[in-house]
Structure 1
C-alpha cells in the first residue's frame, strides 16, 4: 500500500537535511524503536515495538539509507523486518523530499508499505492514520532536536513522546471520523 504524508519542521532546509541524514540520531524520535547493531555504510539492525489496543507488535529487522541526493533534497530509506513471534513481516521503502517554504522545511513522505500478519488486519485506513500520528510525533522531535542544538549527536538527546496505544487509537479514530464527515458533508466533487 502507498501512504503519502507531509509535515513541516520549523527550521531551515539545510539543518533538517543534516538531521535526517543521521539515522542513529533519529532513533530517539521514533516511538518504540531501538538500534541493536551498526553494520556500517548506513545499514542498521533494530527493533520496533508498537502497541495498538490489545495487540503488541514487535519487529526485528534491518534499515538502510539507500539514496541521498542533496541536489534534490531527496532521501530513500528501506526497512524490512519480521515479527519476533514469526507471524508477520513488514517491508517499507520510504522516500522523503524536502522543500523550503517560508523559513520552514516541508517534508513530503511517500511510503510503499507491504505488511502481513496481525498488523495487516487493521486495514489501510487505520494504518495510514496511525502513520500520520507517528509522523507528527517524529516531526516535533526532529524540530526539538534542531532547536536544542542536538543535530549530529552533539547536543542533548531529545526523545519522542512515548506514543501510548490509547493516544494513537484516539487520534487515528478522530482522523477516520473527520474523513467520514468530509465525505458526507464536504463539498461535492460531482459535475
Structure 2
C-alpha cells in the first residue's frame, strides 16, 4: 500500500537535509525504533511493534538508494523480518524537501508491504497509524531542531539528548479511540455470527 505524508520543520532546507540524514539523531523520534549501526548509507536496527498483548520485533536493514542533495531528494529501502515469526515488512520511502518561509516542507511517500500479525488491521487502519506516527515524528524533530537553533543563537549548556527508550510501538494506542470503536464493532459482528452459527448447529444436532 502507498502512504503519503507532509510536515514542516523550523530550519532552512540545508539544515533539514543534514538532520534527516543523521539517523542516530532522528531515530529516537520514531517510537519502537532502535539503531545498531549506520555507516552513512546502510542502517542496521530493529523495530518493536505491540499489537494488544503481543509484541513483535522486526530486525533488518535500511539502505539509502539515493541521496541527491541538489534535488533535495532521498530514497530509503528498508526490509525486516520478525525475530520470532514468519512476518515480514518492506518499505520504499521517498522524501523530498522544499524551502518554505525560512523553514522546510518535507514530503514523504511510502510504499509499504507487511505480512504477519500487524497486517490484520488493513490499509485504512495502517494509514491512520501512519498519520499519527509521522505527526509525532515531525513534532519531535521540530522540537530538536528548534532547541539546537536556540542553543546556537544563545550559547548555553544544553542537556544531552534523551536516549531512545525500549518501549515498542503500540499499534492499538496509535490507532486511537475512533478506530478502536470500529474494530470493536467488527469484533462484535463476528461474535454474533459465531453465536448464531453455534445455535444453528446445536439445533441441527438435536433434530438429528
Compute the TM-score of the two structures, normalised by the length of structure 2.
0.73
1:149 counterpart SS class: helix
Could you tell me which residue of structure 1 aligns to residue 146 of structure 2? Answer: 147
Distance 1:9 1:26 in 2: 13
Could you tell me which residue of structure 2 aligns to residue 170 of structure 1? Answer: 176
Could you tell me which residue of structure 1 aligns to residue 30 of structure 2? Answer: 30
CA RMSD of aligned residues (A): 2.6
Shift of 1:130: 0.6
Distance 1:158 1:12 in 2: 24
The 5 Å alignment of 1:5-24 reads: 5-24=5-24
Q: Residue 78 in 1 paired to residue 69 in 2?
A: no
Structure 2 unmatched runs, 5+: 150-157, 183-208
The answer on whether the counterparts of 1:92 and 1:111 sit within 8 Å (CA) in structure 2 is yes
Query: Structure 1 residues 160 and 85 mapped into 2: Cα distance closer, same or farther (>3 Å)?
Result: closer
Distance 1:46 1:139 in 2: 21
Higher percent of residues as helix? 2
The answer on whether the counterparts of 2:129 and 2:171 sit within 8 Å (CA) in structure 1 is no
2:148 counterpart SS class: coil
Could you tell me which residue of structure 1 aligns to residue 136 of structure 2? Answer: 137
Task: Say how many residue pairs are matched.
Answer: 171
Distance 1:169 1:133 in 2: 8
Could you tell me which residue of structure 1 aligns to residue 160 of structure 2? Answer: 156
1:148 counterpart SS class: helix
Larger Rg: 2
Distance 1:132 1:159 in 2: 24
Distance 2:118 2:107 in 1: 24
The answer on whether the counterparts of 1:144 and 1:158 sit within 8 Å (CA) in structure 2 is no
Distance 1:50 1:140 in 2: 21
Could you tell me which residue of structure 2 aligns to residue 108 of structure 1? Answer: 107
The answer on whether the counterparts of 2:64 and 2:74 sit within 8 Å (CA) in structure 1 is yes
Compute the TM-score of the two structures, normalised by the length of structure 1.
0.79
Q: Deviations over 1:65-100 (max 9, x none)?
A: 221111111111111000111230011110001112
Distance 1:116 1:172 in 2: 24
Q: Deviations over 1:113-163 (max 9, x none)?
A: 11111121110011111111111111111111211228xxx9832578976
